[in-house]
Amino acid sequence: MNIFELLKRDHEKILKSFEELEDAGGEVSGKQDAGQDKLFAGLKQELESHMEGEEEIFYAELREEEDTRALVLESYEEHHVVKALLSELEGMPKDEYWIAKLSVLRENAKHHIAKEEDDVFEEAQEILSEDQSRSMGKRMAEFKKEQMTHK
Ligand SMILES: [Fe+2]
Ligand SMILES: [Fe+2]
């Protein structure tokens, strides 16, 4: 699997986790809900390891390219917002404020994912050879596997 296929598969999984979490939060009462806690922890782990892998493997390379540098710097900022929202959500009771923040996180993540797939990937495909994108995919898969075993 090349890096683009792998990241897209991650994106689908992330969007699905948001759906599951919002479904589970349909009748949020502010009480602790073990099912919801587990879904949120899963989403957070998925998003964080996805962003970290992207930054270390995919963006680290594209950051040095003139055609993708501005897009990469924007992506870093978007990751920063997603990380900040995730850590705020982690420490909050799951009440209506939590639901509002989750919804903003979802909008941010969706926007970011669309931009990656529509703009960043298109530019990156011009820069990376088939061999490079395949070896990046391999490194990303290994990175994620390592993350899973350490958590
Ligand atoms: Fe990203
Ligand atoms: Fe991504």
Q: Which of 141, 41, 149, 19 is nearest to 89 (CA)?
A: 41
- Residue 36: the pLDDT is 85
pLDDT at 32 (0 to 100) = 58
Residue 4 confidence (pLDDT) above 80: yes
79 Cα to the center of ligand 1, angstroms: 6
Computed over every residue of the chain, the mean pLDDT equals 92
Distance 75 CA to ligand 1 centre (A): 6
> Worst-scoring range by mean pLDDT, 32-36, 56-60, 90-94, 101-105?
32-36
Exposure string over 63-83, b if 16+ CB within 10 A, otherwise e:
eeeeebeebbeebeebbeebe
pTM across the whole model: 0.92
Distance 48 CA to ligand 1 centre (A): 10
CA distances from 59 to 74, 118, 130 (A): 11, 16, 17
Which domains, and CATH codes, for the chain? 3-149 (1.20.120.520)
How far is residue 49's CA from residue 13's CA, in Å, rounded to a whole number?
Answer: 13
pLDDT score for 142: 95
For the CA of 79, the nearest ligand: 1
Distance (Å) from CA 112 to ligand 2 centroid: 7
pLDDT digits (tens, 9 = 90+) for 74-130: 999 999 999 999 999 998 998 899 999 999 999 999 999 999 999 999 999 999 999
